[in-house]
Amino acid sequence: MKRPTLTERQREVLALLVQGNTMREVATILKITPRTVAFHKYRMMSALKLSSSAELISYAVKHRIG
């Protein structure tokens, strides 16, 4: 089965979250709203079939994102 791919923007958001930034801080850095950051985060979790932020961060570390 093919692993889902993340968009460039999703990878940017995830990298900033891995670095320890809050969703609000990520929004400020990328000049988007916190709601948009949350949208990207939950779309990634859905696509990757992950159920928590911790699993998302673990995925990013394992796949060297961030």
The model's pLDDT over 10-64, given as tens digits with 9 standing for 90+, comes to 999 999 999 999 999 999 999 999 999 999 999 999 999 999 999 999 999 999 9
**Domain annotation covers residue 52:** yes
Domain count, the chain: 1
Tell whether the model's pLDDT for residue 1 goes beyond 80.
Answer: no
**Domain annotation covers residue 1:** no
Range of the domain at 58: 8-62
**Domain annotation covers residue 28:** yes
Confidence label for 5 from pLDDT (cuts 50, 70 and 90): confident
Which one-letter amino acid corresponds to residue 6? Answer: L
What CATH number did the domain enclosing 53 receive?
1.10.10.10
**Domain annotation covers residue 3:** no
Whole-angstrom distance, CA of residue 51 vs CA of residue 12 = 20
Rounded to the nearest 10°, the torsion over CA 4, 19, 40, 57 is: 50
